[in-house]
């Protein structure tokens, strides 16, 4: 735990270790380029598009992007133009792909801030062409094809329309083509292989129509870690950048992924104890009295709740680290406060630090472990961390 953090106000905060982000970025680059530099075939190393959408999975978009840029990220991926603008205003100069494209009227922001849109419908080509012609500019774009996720993306049947329309768009430059895997962490069926075959067919159809793009990317985090056949010439790591692997099926593959691509979790979430009280057997704690003491107990009140990103579903089932020991969360997790049974933690006092995610002494608890306990995904808990939680960026 970092001892030097001092700030005024409500004592809940997050710590993001920049060294962990750097480690993960460099580990990914080595992993997808086993021999850094040009291969024997003369091809350049694979590019890395670092996904920093949703405020860099709750870690803070601009500081994270700066650290990843220094560590070698070639591109950044965001959800929308607003996220791309935030990076540009934060002095991020690397190419930025707007993964879900643009809404009509946003084209001017793409030009002004140098953002690269994803095209997901044929008619968007003409919209972008008209905007580029009015601005007397050329603009690069990537095309997303749907191969099995059935969300955003051109369908395989749209390939002829795409090629015809693109031929009429002299202000557009086709820079990249991509798809998104629905279940790259699942090895108990062949859905990924089906998607990959569908994508290969799309690329071949485009080639027959005289259309190609220099960048081809499919691999999200689990595919980056475990499916080298999907790497293309650019990969799109997301969660792995922040230090967490997906939960694989079968589960034994999760340990294998950790061994093949060792990561360092970057995030710690901490708060202080703001009250410690003795309660008698039979007394209840919190909303609706969902926890009742079975013995004389010491209950600590912690200055963090679900508005800060702690899932309410941790009620009576989570735990927190205090003085290097685990203490169970008891009672209902409320908006601003959480309570823990610290009876078995000696010498607890007001002002002590409670660690929800991270390490304290020899005890560790990472976001991925809590997510597994709750039956959700790690990224949900990272993204849930409230905006009123100050972030501190540590070496």
| DSSP string over 152-214 | SSB-GGGHHHHHHHHHT-TTEEEEEEE---S-TTB-SSSHHHHHHHHHHHHHHHHHHTT---S
Q: If DSSP codes are grouped into helix, strand and coil, which group holds residue 69?
A: helix
Name the percent of the chain in helix, strand, coil, to the closest 5: 35, 25, 40
Token pair, residue 160, equals 């002829």
Alpha carbon of 280 to those of 53, 139, 341: distances in Å?
A: 48, 69, 13
Is the Cβ–Cβ distance between 355 and 348 less than 8 Å? no
Residues 6+ apart with CB under 8 A from 392: 2, 5, 13, 14, 15, 16
- Residue in 112, 287, 317, 349 annotated catalytic: 287
- The Cβ of residue 349 has, within 10 Å, a number of other Cβ atoms equal to 10
User: How many residues are there in the chain?
Assistant: 395
306: annotated active-site residue: no
Q: How many CB atoms lie within 10 A of CB 251?
A: 9
Catalytic residue (choose from 53, 242, 248, 306): 53
If we measure between CA atoms, which residue out of 308, 333, 330 comes closest to residue 384?
308
> Among 200, 227, 216, which Cα is nearest to 47's?
216
d(CA 308, CA 170): 49
Answer left, alpha or beta for residue 168, where phi above 0 means left and psi between -120 and 50 means alpha.
alpha
Do the Cβ atoms of 364 and 358 come closer than 8 Å? yes
Asked if 91 is an active-site residue, the reply is no
CA-atom Rg of the chain in angstroms: 24
Look at residue 38 and give its three-state secondary structure. Answer: coil
How many other CB atoms are found less than 10 A from the CB of residue 233? 14
Q: Look up residue 306 and give its DSSP letter.
A: G
Q: Which residues of 73-95 are buried (b: 16+ CB within 10 A; e: fewer)?
A: bbbbbbebbebbbbbbeeebeeb
Residues serving a catalytic function are 53, 287
């Amino acid at each position: 735990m970092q001892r030097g953090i001092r700030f005024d106000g409500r004592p809940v905060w997050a710590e993001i270790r920049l060294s962990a982000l750097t480690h993960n970025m460099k580990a990914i680059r080595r992993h997808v380029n086993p021999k850094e530099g040009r291969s024997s075939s003369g091809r350049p190393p694979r590019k890395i598009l670092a996904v920093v959408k949703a405020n860099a999975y709750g870690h803070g978009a601009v500081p994270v992007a700066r650290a990843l840029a220094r560590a070698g990220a070639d591109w950044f991926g965001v959800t929308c133009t607003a996220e791309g603008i935030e990076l540009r205003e934060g002095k991020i100069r690397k190419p930025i792909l707007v993964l879900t494209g643009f809404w009509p009227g946003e084209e001017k922001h793409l030009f002004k801030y140098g953002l690269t849109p994803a095209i997901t419908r044929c008619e968007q080509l003409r919209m972008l062409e008209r905007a580029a012609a009015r601005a007397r500019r050329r603009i690069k774009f990537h095309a997303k094809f749907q191969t099995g996720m059935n969300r955003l993306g051109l369908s395989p049947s749209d390939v002829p329309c795409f090629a015809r329309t693109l031929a009429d768009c002299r202000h557009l430059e086709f820079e990249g083509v991509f798809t998104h895997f629905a279940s790259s962490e699942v090895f108990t069926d062949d859905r990924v292989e089906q998607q990959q075959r569908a994508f290969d067919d799309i690329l071949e159809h485009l080639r027959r129509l005289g259309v190609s793009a220099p960048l081809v990317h499919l691999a999200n985090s689990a595919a980056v870690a475990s499916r080298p056949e999907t790497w293309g010439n650019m990969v799109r790591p997301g969660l792995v950048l922040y230090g967490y692997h997906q939960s694989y099926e079968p589960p034994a593959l999760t340990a294998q992924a950790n061994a093949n691509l060792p990561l360092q979790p970057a995030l710690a979430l901490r708060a202080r104890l703001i009250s410690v009280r003795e309660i008698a057997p039979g007394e209840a704690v919190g909303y609706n009295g969902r926890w009742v003491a079975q013995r004389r107990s010491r209950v600590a009140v912690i200055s963090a709740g679900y508005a800060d990103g702690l899932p309410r579903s941790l009620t009576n089932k989570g735990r927190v680290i205090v003085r290097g020991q685990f203490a169970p969360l008891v009672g209902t997790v409320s908006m601003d406060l959480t309570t823990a049974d610290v009876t078995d933690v000696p010498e607890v006092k007001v002002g002590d630090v409670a660690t929800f995610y991270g390490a304290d002494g020899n005890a560790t608890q990472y976001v991925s472990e809590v997510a597994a306990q709750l039956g959700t995904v790690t990224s949900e808990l990272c993204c849930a961390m409230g905006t009123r939680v100050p972030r501190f960026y540590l070496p």
